[in-house]
Structures are given as structure tokens and as C-alpha cells.
Amino acid sequence: MSNNSNVENLSPQVIRQIAKEMSELVSSPPEGIKVFINDEDITDIQAVIEGPAGTPYAGGSFRVKLVLGKDFPTGPPKGYFMTKIFHPNVAKNGEICVNTLKKDWKSELGLKHILLTVKCLLIVPNPESALNEEAGKLLLERYDDYCQRAKMMTEIHAHPPKFAKEGLEMDPTSSSVGTIFKGVGGPLAKKHATEKSKTLSDKKNLKLMKDKKRTLKRL
């Protein structure tokens, strides 16, 4: 069991409810959200949210974690982005500022509702309750710059590696860039991963240069 486990702080009834909700989320996941169950600690709630189309986060996979306090479900959980993201409502340490997790919280709101709210926040950020002031300011004053910065962060940190196509098994709970590969070792595997990483990096740089040229042409 993990050191941060809250199992001993929660009643058996609450644990059963969490287990039921998690099971439902896995069997019929909300669109663009994949939940992972930690068999050793049911209170370790992690999910990957796909960046919604039409947003600067499109194409990215963002790992989020919900931390349940000992007063859950009376008190709201805390939410964190484990994947780096440039967003007005996400602090540098990944903490998420969502009203549903604070003043609008009701004990009957489930885990699915929270994850959907976090996904909605990627579509409609709220600059008025900004935890990242720079992102909030850019969103309001220079929207194009905000989009470009958010897209760049998504490119760097939230794009899943292409290694999966090579038949390597990925640990889904690891962050997308520093992905941990199971059952892969030895200098050849590392060399191959490094070369692939360099190729991807070159492609990204080329794409960024093309994007910049397009932007300059528009100006």
C-alpha cells in the first residue's frame, strides 16, 4: 500500500462506494478519459484525459490525480495534473483550481463528475480564479500567445511517445514524456529509445519552425 494511502482514514462504506465508482469508470469510461485502478490502494485515483479537439491541448494526454481527504465525501478531493500544462487554473505544482472541488462541492457528486469537470476546464478555462497568473493574463489579453504557449507545452510534455508502435509495453500511470517501459532493458533498448527521442525532437523543431513561418506570413 502506498505511503499516501487514505484507506485507513476512510470508512468501509466510503471505500466500497469508491471501488464501485472506479469499477464503473473503467467498464464505461467517459469520452476522452481513461481511469487506472491501483489494486493496492483504491484511494489512489489516477486518470489520463485526452486534450479536447479545438483547444491548444488537442493531441495531448494529460495524467491527473485525485487526492481524497479523510473527510471525503463530505469534503472535496484535491486534484493535480501530473503532466506539465500551461493553464490558468493549474498551479506550477499541478494543483487544479476548480469550483466543483471547492465551494460548489456536494457530497453526492461522484468521481466521474470531477473528472468531467477537469476535462471541461481544458475547453473553457476560468481566468478569474487563476492559479497561474501568467496564463490567466495571456488568456484575457493576448489569446493567440496563450494558445501558442499552451500548444508548445502540450507538444513537449503531453504527447505520448511513438514507442508503443514498436511493440514496447508502456506503464500507463507514468508521465507521458518520462514513460517507464516494462520488460525493456539493456543498452540497445536505451540507444534505440534515445535515437527515437532525437528523431521526434527534430521533427517537433521542424514543425515549430514551420508554424512560426506561417504566423509571420499572417502578420
Instruction: Give me the active site residues, please.
Output: 97
How far is residue 187's CA from residue 192's CA, in Å, rounded to a whole number?
9
CB contact burial 65-104 (16+ within 10 A = b; e otherwise): bbebeeebbeebbebbbbbbbbbbbbeeebebbbebbeee
Cα angle value 211/217/218 (rounded, 5°): 90
Alpha-carbon dihedral sign for residues 84, 156, 150, 34:
negative
How far is residue 210's CA from residue 216's CA, in Å, rounded to a whole number?
10
Helix, strand, coil tally for the chain in percent (to 5): 45, 10, 40
3-state SS class at 180? coil
Element (H, E) at 128: none
